Structure 1
């Protein structure tokens, strides 16, 4: 509708002092209209107190592409509002050639942000800005040279490669860094050797040079980048690692050789890089599983596990028989990460191995969820190592075989609390009614974690016998047990829990009170209405909110209370 208004009406609306929305709509409509008589008024609107109006004015001027707007739009790159600045940049890009010289001058601005915004706009103008920017690369001001290099990198024209290579020798490290980044973005092979020289000799720009060499993906950079893995600076090592990942396949064999070197930290890094490279590294890593050095074999297994490549399964199964314990543990971990059922029998056999291998094998078998592992894992519940017993219980819960119920019930007598907790979790996952009484008994365990898990487990078993024990758990000495008990009773929705949950609205823990209110809302029993209304005055806003929500789920007289609460909360929020 606004576009159909006459020019005069729109120009009048552009000055409307009553409503910024009218001014914004007028600016937008004038841009759509495209009448150049509106340029000067729109330039004035760039100074409007409202950022939305300024943005709409910049948008309109960009559509008109009138060179009179260039200087005012360049100044808008200083605007405090990000959206206004971005719209002014867009407008300048649309106006194109007339904006170049003022933007080149803006590169000299003392405000770093303004200068880089000008560089961004020039970079978006492409070839039109190429010659002025190359000239600016030789400016006496280092900040101008930096911003020119950034813009040239964004343009990405091959003609700027040689000037940028020269800029790698600039006296300002910021210029050298910007030039290196620009060369990485342009990806011209002429930059490889100069960047390698910077990597080796320029401490200030070494990190950026590594990144740029990664972007170039040239195999000449592999060995120099590998040397940087030994550098004392963490950021240089990280950038060099990332660069080797980007280079990919041509870095694989040199990195395999690194696995054989003495420095343990570098071996770890090389294994990580190989794992990130992925497919091209699979076969060399499989071969590395046969190396005489156990450290190499372990790192190779670790990298194969990170890749999760199924071609590695059979070689890793064979490696489970490795003579070195650390290798076997890592291999079991890798097979768990790959999740291929071909490994089940080998992992079952590994349950008879060393302590650490048994632990990892039990953990891996749980992830694979194969019924063949049930009997061996039941046997592992009696292992002398508590971690093995714990992982066996966890695994049996994941496999969910009813065959494991009775052995897990017996394991509730385990001397270790962490084992008992995983046993309780497993019984909860199995959801078998035979476990109800033992889990009720577990609510009296001395370990807080066991009691918490017992509440969770009982909640998962749909059996009326669990209600009274969960009600008793509302009086547990540990507040988190009381909290999960309120959640469980809310899920079960048995009316026997109403009165005890009403009592829990006065628990000293606000989290318990909050969840008690929620649970009463789930049960929807009229007895809870008055206590929930009292809870609207709780000191904790989350308790009040949950009480309001619970009342909203109950029928009848409470509805006006909910509306009143909402309006009061809204006023509080605005204040």
Structure 2
């Protein structure tokens, strides 16, 4: 026995030999020595020699379940290659303890280890499905995505429940999310905060397709701490013509994030909104919000907005001055003629042309009104 233990290191060195017969003889001898050889073999995985690595892996595989305790220690080794090979070897063993370890590494920050865990779980087969389904219900998005990928490789058929909705969403199966309806709303709302803009866009569109069951959740999401979620929810509410959301959307015109402001004003012009909301929006620091508000006031022909639109003719942005002038033309009130004429020498050529066009139009309208009086 003493001779066997003393022979371990020389035998491991022989696994680096270029001669296949020498490596094979060393491997058989190490297996004969038994479990005392496992820990030194795992430590020896830290080598750049691919021939030796393969020989060590094959030797460790021969130990079967007896290697599990030492492989678990190998997972804690400082060398990444030892961690990776230990996890890879564990995944080849059919043991409940191994499945627990693989599930733990499914969400490891080391992408290589996570990928090895995913591949190992696929090798474990359907025994891991219940644990993976539970992972779909966890708050960590990355964990859910990786669990769903493993389930897909296992050809899992989901039920029409929350886990099934998360699975469909993670697989970008938006049509199934629509079919699931109400049960898919919570994970879809959460996806409005996703880092990927394509996922956010698809989730918002899917919520629009689901319709009424999504309204309450979308309105709650307007209060989200995540700007992406607030903007996506505002867009969806606009597409749904959600009149009850008008007040909350108006509040977002003062949101610290300009994309949220723009999504909110875009939604407000889609729904029946009190025009005075747009009057207040003319004072926004966001140019797009100001322009959209001016356009909306002209579209609504909201005469009480006349003073605010006249003031907007002095906006520092030429685009805004142009939009305000056009809005005054849409409203059609001749009281705007004199304020417009004061700005006939606007420094911007486009604005000057618009002022000329609008004042001529208002003159004609005024003359028609006088003639029919």
TM-score after normalising by structure 1: 0.34
Partners of 2:312 and 2:215 in 1: how far apart?
A: 33
Does residue 1:354 correspond to 2:285, yes or no?
yes
Does residue 1:326 correspond to 2:259, yes or no?
yes
The alpha-carbon deviation at position 385 of structure 1 amounts to: 0.5
- Shift of the 461–373 alpha-carbon distance from structure 1 to 2, 3 Å rule, reads closer
User: 1:228 is matched with which residue: 163, 168, 171?
Assistant: 171
* Structure 1 equivalent of residue 203 of structure 2: 270
* Structure 1 equivalent of residue 239 of structure 2: 306
Alignment check: 8 A CA contact 1:333 1:361 kept:
no
1:101-140 aligned at under 5 Å gives the runs none
Partners of 2:164 and 2:353 in 1: how far apart?
A: 53
Gaps spanning 5+ residues in structure 1: where?
Answer: 1-195, 204-208, 230-239, 436-459, 464-575
- Shift of the 420–272 alpha-carbon distance from structure 1 to 2, 3 Å rule, reads farther
3-state SS of paired residue (1:320): helix
Which digits, 9 at most, give the CA deviation of each residue in 1:102-151, with x for residues without a partner? xxxxxxxxxxxxxxxxxxxxxxxxxxxxxxxxxxxxxxxxxxxxxxxxxx
Does residue 1:297 correspond to 2:251, yes or no?
no
- Shift of the 368–280 alpha-carbon distance from structure 1 to 2, 3 Å rule, reads farther
- Shift of the 429–295 alpha-carbon distance from structure 1 to 2, 3 Å rule, reads farther
Does residue 1:393 correspond to 2:325, yes or no?
yes
Alignment check: 8 A CA contact 1:325 1:354 kept:
no
The alpha-carbon deviation at position 249 of structure 1 amounts to: 2.4
Does residue 1:375 correspond to 2:310, yes or no?
no
- Shift of the 401–278 alpha-carbon distance from structure 1 to 2, 3 Å rule, reads farther
Partners of 1:347 and 1:267 in 2: how far apart?
A: 27
Partners of 2:369 and 2:350 in 1: how far apart?
A: 22
* Structure 1 equivalent of residue 178 of structure 2: 245
The alpha-carbon deviation at position 291 of structure 1 amounts to: 1.0
Partners of 1:429 and 1:252 in 2: how far apart?
A: 50
- Shift of the 426–268 alpha-carbon distance from structure 1 to 2, 3 Å rule, reads farther
The alpha-carbon deviation at position 429 of structure 1 amounts to: 5.5
The alpha-carbon deviation at position 251 of structure 1 amounts to: 1.7
TM-score after normalising by structure 2: 0.51
The alpha-carbon deviation at position 313 of structure 1 amounts to: 0.8
Does residue 1:364 correspond to 2:299, yes or no?
no
1:490-569 aligned at under 5 Å gives the runs none
Does residue 1:432 correspond to 2:364, yes or no?
yes
Alignment check: 8 A CA contact 1:336 1:365 kept:
no
Considering Cα pairs closer than 8 Å and 6+ residues apart, tell me whether 1 or 2 has the greater RCO. 2
Alignment check: 8 A CA contact 1:332 1:364 kept:
no
- Shift of the 404–329 alpha-carbon distance from structure 1 to 2, 3 Å rule, reads same
Alignment check: 8 A CA contact 2:242 2:271 kept:
yes
- Shift of the 298–379 alpha-carbon distance from structure 1 to 2, 3 Å rule, reads same
Count of matched residue pairs: 222
Alignment check: 8 A CA contact 2:239 2:267 kept:
yes
* Structure 2 equivalent of residue 287 of structure 1: 220
The alpha-carbon deviation at position 321 of structure 1 amounts to: 2.5
Partners of 2:353 and 2:207 in 1: how far apart?
A: 38
3-state SS of paired residue (1:337): coil
Partners of 1:202 and 1:405 in 2: how far apart?
A: 73
The alpha-carbon deviation at position 309 of structure 1 amounts to: 1.4
